């Protein structure tokens, strides 16, 4: 049985690009399970009216999904438990670097792309002092600790790409998580970050085929590493091309004119939009 999901963040109204992604995921599920998941861990950007609009717009488009819908902000305990497990195994550390300090570090690096961050925990007395002072910090996954824990298995983490990455990547691929460096898994006060919430949810919901835009292709590396460290099953991936507008640019949440509700207000009917997106 195939289980796919569409996992939007309610930080704006859905546009044509979202419609294309949701239709692609629903079609990939065929007659099996299609799940809608509300990714609202970034509470500062997410709003209830956008969440309500997501269901309304997708139903208008003709989609049906399993209920109840999982809303990430209702399940922070699940993500905390996963973080706690990684912490108990010494795989994460508190990073107190501010954005300005991180920028400064990368400015000192040789020219070329900004290198991924790799660091380590502060010495215990300094960490205790910073904690006592209430300084903000992020929990980062230590790529070095992950490597030590998995041994030769670290370089053997793979995934199956059924669609294509931005450079045509397809088939059985090496995840190569080292390039991502020590990614942030949680922030003080903001619970959990995207990667950890996604792998926990995909596993809990039995998602075995992740269908999403090719802009998230690079996320697979970190997500496969987390799945391996947390003993979670590996879904297959099917990244689809990003839908571009007539101007050759991708649709963005800030383009009000192309939201599904704006199209609807202009008289668009769902069958025509589906046909325009190739789902006629
Ligand atoms: N919530 C993410 C987004 O809005 C998608 C996450 C995913 O599909 O893995 O782009």
Taking the C-alpha atoms of residue 179 and residue 85, their distance in angstroms, rounded to an integer, is 23
CB neighbours of residue 56 within 10 Å: 15
In 3D space, the residue among 176, 202, 186, 190 whose CA is nearest the CA of residue 87 turns out to be 186
At residue 259, does pLDDT exceed 90? yes
Taking the CA of residue 223 as reference, the ligand 1 atom at the shortest distance is 9
pLDDT at 130 over 60: yes
Q: How far apart are alpha carbons 207 and 204 in whole angstroms?
A: 8
Question: Above 90 in pLDDT, residue 25?
Answer: yes
Which of 9-18, 30-39, 112-121, 149-158 is predicted least confidently?
A: 112-121
Count of CB atoms situated within 10 Å of the CB of 202: 24
Mean pLDDT of 13-18: 95
Position 110 pLDDT exceeds 90: no
- Name the DSSP class of 11: S
Q: What is the mean pLDDT of residues 142-168?
A: 97
Cα of 127 vs centre of ligand 1, distance in Å, is: 33
* Closest C-alpha residue for ligand 1 atom 5: 7
**Ligand 1 centre from 210 Cα, in Å?**
10
Residue 44 CA to ligand 1 center (angstroms) comes to: 17
Ligand 1 pocket test target in 6, 8, 58 with most atoms within 8 Å of CB:
8
- pLDDT value, residue 113: 58
Residue of 39, 220, 226 to test ligand 1 pocket, by largest number of atoms within 8 Å of CB: 39
Q: Give yes or no for residue 111 having a pLDDT over 60.
A: no
Query: Given the CA of residue 39, which atom of ligand 1 is nearest to it?
Result: 1
The answer, yes or no, to whether residue 106 has pLDDT greater than 70, is no
pTM: 0.94
User: For position 229, what pLDDT does the model report?
Assistant: 98
pLDDT > 90 in the chain, percent: 82
Between 42-46, 109-113, 165-169, the lowest mean confidence (pLDDT) is in 109-113
Above 70 in pLDDT, residue 89? yes
Calculate the average pLDDT of the chain: 93
Closest protein CA for atom 4 of ligand 1 = 8
pLDDT at 31: 84
CATH superfamily of 1-74+244-280: HUPs (3.40.50.620)
Residues with a CB atom less than 6 Å from ligand 1: 7-9, 39, 198, 212, 216
Average pLDDT, stretch 185-202?
A: 90
Each domain of the chain, given as residue ranges in start order, spans 1-74+244-280
pLDDT value, residue 127: 97
């Amino acid at each position: 049985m195939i289980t796919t999901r569409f996992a939007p963040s309610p930080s704006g109204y859905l546009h044509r690009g979202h419609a294309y992604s949701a239709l692609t995921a629903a079609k990939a599920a065929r007659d099996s399970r299609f799940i809608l998941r509300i990714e609202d861990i970034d509470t500062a950007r997410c709003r209830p009216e956008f969440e309500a609009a997501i269901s309304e717009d997708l139903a208008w488009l003709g989609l049906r999904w399993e209920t109840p819908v999982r809303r990430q902000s209702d399940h922070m305990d699940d993500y905390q438990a996963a973080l706690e497990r990684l912490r108990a195994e010494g795989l994460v550390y508190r990073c107190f670097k501010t954005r300005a300090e991180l920028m400064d570090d990368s400015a000192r690096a040789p020219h070329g792309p900004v290198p991924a961050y790799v660091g380590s925990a502060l010495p215990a007395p300094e960490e205790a002092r910073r904690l006592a002072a209430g300084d903000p910090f992020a929990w980062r996954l230590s790529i070095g600790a992950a490597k030590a824990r998995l041994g030769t298995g670290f370089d053997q983490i793979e995934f199956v790409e059924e669609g294509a990455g931005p450079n045509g990547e397809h088939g059985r691929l090496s995840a190569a998580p080292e390039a991502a460096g020590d990614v942030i898994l949680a922030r003080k006060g903001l619970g959990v970050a995207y990667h950890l919430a996604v792998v926990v949810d995909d596993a809990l919901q039995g998602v075995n085929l992740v269908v999403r835009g090719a802009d998230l292709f690079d996320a697979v590396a970190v997500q496969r590493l987390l799945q391996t460290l947390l003993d979670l099953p590996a879904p297959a991936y099917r990244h689809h091309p990003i839908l571009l507008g007539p101007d050759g640019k991708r649709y963005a949440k800030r383009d009000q004119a192309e939201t599904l509700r704006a199209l609807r207000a202009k008289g668009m009917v769902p069958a025509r939009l589906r046909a325009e997106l190739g789902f006629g």
